[in-house]
Amino acid sequence: MLSESDRSLAGLRRALDSGALTARALAESYIARIEDLDHKTKAVIELNPRALDDAEALDADLSHGAVKGPLHGIPVMVKDNLNTAAPMTTTAGSLALEGLTVKEDATVVARLRAAGAVILGKTNLSEWANFRSARSSSGWSSRGGQTRNPYALDRTPGGSSSGSGVAVAAGYCAAAIGTETDGSIVSPAAMNGIVGIKPTVGLISRRGIIPVTHSQDTAGPMARSVADAALVLGVLAGSDAGDPATAEADRRGKRDYTASLDPGGLKGARIGCLPGLAAIHAGAAAILDGNLRAIREAGAEVVEGIALPEAEAVRPLEFQVMITEFKAGLNAYLAEFAADVAPKDLTALIAFNEARREQVMPYFPQDLLEKAEATAGLDDSIYCNARRDCLRLIREEGIDRVMAERELDALVVPTTCAPWLIDWVNGDNRSGSSAYLAAVSGYPSITVPAGYLFGLPIGLSFIARAYEEAALIRFAFAFEQATKVRIPPPFAETANLQPCPSPPGD
């Protein structure tokens, strides 16, 4: 395989343009790595049988000087809840959709192809984007099995974009696409030691993506560096008539985000710090202390004493929004794309799972699907009031208020906890996440590798207001260049349980 620096998108672009590497050879090298290592991680749910043919066609174009775009010839993987045209299937990891093919790519996939990307395959995920059971195991699906963290194979990869995070970290592709409703890009990115961008809701089209919650759903890039993620974000962003939420995207957000890659980008910025997980974990506190020192040394002013509503204050309201919108969104998706070959609605899906309980539900049930089925629709006052109160708490009285009052350019907070042990009996053992802030508000965030706890990756998130992705990329890139902490995963059987660093002052 190529070296880490050569595997950057810029490095691959140089090698392809110079003729030192062909798109077919590059795709073959990634496929060989998947075949060699993915039996350990189960990040890839399906390879594209046409990937090598697609790569050869792109080589032919390049030999005639025809370059489609910045990803010409570069292998990218996409989460298995994004429509990919036949012969690939789209299943959200569920046996209920096994064999489902669609005629057209999701808008996100079409934009990747238009930019010249080779769609190498689909990545595993937490089944139904982690919306089947409150007692689920992140990265497990009935179709794909359990995805595992390449830093410690007995640890969670985070979810629900589990396979995308692992595929990028493990070097199975140059970049990948995940989706997020609440934490599903930034959490697996942080837990796999990579960069993930959760964009403003409405910057990227959701057309052709199996939904969870239209108020919060978005696709986004996952990559090994801020520069790579920024390049892919520019390919994906923009308005789409197939998703009315993107009406403002061309005017407010579409741009070349690589123009924001300024190593001095933190100079003069006011960054508000939220302790998050660091308030309850000594090792995380030590990592955050070093991160804040690096941010200050890079020229920013760190403003402490920031307070925002805790997750517990908004979680019941967000949950009501999610279960209500899931039922409406999934029924609409199945009616359009899957009615002839799969359960035609949520009622039929629940029945399918129950009839095949031993295959589909060997470890945990479908309680979230059942609660969604019991909701009364998008006109129900309980739902409408919950969505209104979500925005009031997190956006109007939360992020908007504190950023205005403290004159902040962005917030910074540990992304989530370190990866926990995989547990099919009790489910995920989360001990903290800041993802709800950007998720509920619909605002953008970016997570960057920030350190290691017992050899397990920890991420740091920068959060800002709507369509401020360019500023976040500027801050995140400057932080990344100042710290450069990322190390490739060792595929260890378990974590390196050496003593943690002591918190400052001990």
* CATH code for the domain in which residue 124 is found: 3.90.1300.10
Q: Are residues 108 and 189 in the same domain?
A: yes
Q: What is the pLDDT of residue 6?
A: 76
Residue 421 lies in domain = 9-306+397-483
Tell me whether residue 161 is one of the annotated catalytic residues: no
Length of the chain counted residue by residue: 506
Residue 397 CA to residue 412 CA, distance in Å, equals 18
Q: Which of 322, 356, 386 is the last residue of a domain?
A: 386
Q: Which residue has the tokens 């990803």?
A: 71
| Helix segments in 65-161, DSSP class H | 107-114, 127-130
Residue 296 CA to residue 283 CA, distance in Å, equals 20
Q: Are residues 335 and 476 in the same domain?
A: no
pLDDT per residue, tens digit, the chain (506 aa), is 567 767 899 999 999 999 999 999 999 999 999 999 999 999 999 999 999 999 999 999 999 999 999 999 999 999 999 999 999 999 999 999 999 999 999 999 999 999 999 999 999 999 999 999 999 999 999 999 999 999 999 999 999 999 999 999 999 999 999 999 999 999 999 999 999 999 999 999 999 999 999 999 999 999 999 999 999 999 999 999 999 999 999 999 999 999 999 999 999 999 999 998 777 789 999 999 999 999 999 999 999 999 999 999 999 999 999 999 999 999 999 999 997 888 999 999 999 999 999 999 999 999 999 999 999 999 999 999 999 999 999 999 999 999 999 999 999 999 999 999 999 999 999 888 999 999 999 999 999 999 999 999 999 999 999 999 999 999 999 999 999 999 999 999 999 887 655 444 34
Q: What is the pLDDT of residue 500?
A: 53
Q: What is the pLDDT of residue 329?
A: 98
Instruction: Of 123, 110, 111, give the one whose Cα is nearest residue 48.
Output: 123
Catalytic residue among 8, 42, 79, 187: 79
Please report whether residue 221 resides in a domain: yes
Its sign, for the CA torsion 383, 213, 459, 115, is: negative
Q: What is the pLDDT of residue 54?
A: 98
Q: Are residues 430 and 317 in the same domain?
A: no
Q: Are residues 462 and 341 in the same domain?
A: no
- Which helix (H) or strand (E) segment is 175 a member of? strand 175-180
Q: Are residues 283 and 371 in the same domain?
A: no
| DSSP conformational letter for 276 | G
For 258-338, strand residue ranges (E) read: 270-273, 301-303
Q: How many domains does the chain have?
A: 2
Please report whether residue 201 resides in a domain: yes
Q: Are residues 408 and 438 in the same domain?
A: yes
Q: Are residues 224 and 83 in the same domain?
A: yes
Q: Which of 331, 355, 386 is the last residue of a domain?
A: 386
Q: Are residues 346 and 272 in the same domain?
A: no
Please report whether residue 497 resides in a domain: no
267: Cα within 13 Å, side-chain hemisphere: 4
Q: Are residues 48 and 95 in the same domain?
A: yes
**Cβ neighbours of residue 340 under 8 Å, at least 6 residues apart?**
none
Q: What is the pLDDT of residue 339?
A: 79
Q: Are residues 163 and 242 in the same domain?
A: yes
CA 281 to chain centroid: 24
Compute the CA torsion angle 435, 439, 443, 448 (nearest 10 deg): 30
Q: Are residues 333 and 207 in the same domain?
A: no
- Which helix (H) or strand (E) segment is 31 a member of? helix 23-41
9 close to 175: Cβ distance less than 8 angstroms = yes
Q: Are residues 149 and 22 in the same domain?
A: yes
Please report whether residue 491 resides in a domain: no
Evaluate the omega torsion of the peptide bond into residue 87 and state whether it is cis, within 30 degrees of 0: yes
Catalytic residue among 126, 137, 160, 445: 160
| DSSP conformational letter for 308 | -
Tell me the β-bridge partners of 240: 243
Please report whether residue 226 resides in a domain: yes
Q: Which of 386, 408, 437 is the last residue of a domain?
A: 386
Please report whether residue 346 resides in a domain: yes
Please report whether residue 435 resides in a domain: yes
Catalytic residue among 136, 137, 142, 184: 184
Q: What is the pLDDT of residue 5?
A: 67
Tell me whether residue 8 is one of the annotated catalytic residues: no
Angle, CA of 2, 154 and 38, to the nearest 5°: 35
Residue 47 CA to residue 264 CA, distance in Å, equals 40
Residue 494 CA to residue 122 CA, distance in Å, equals 26
Please report whether residue 281 resides in a domain: yes
Which residue type, as a one-letter code, is found at position 422?
Answer: I
Tell me whether residue 79 is one of the annotated catalytic residues: yes
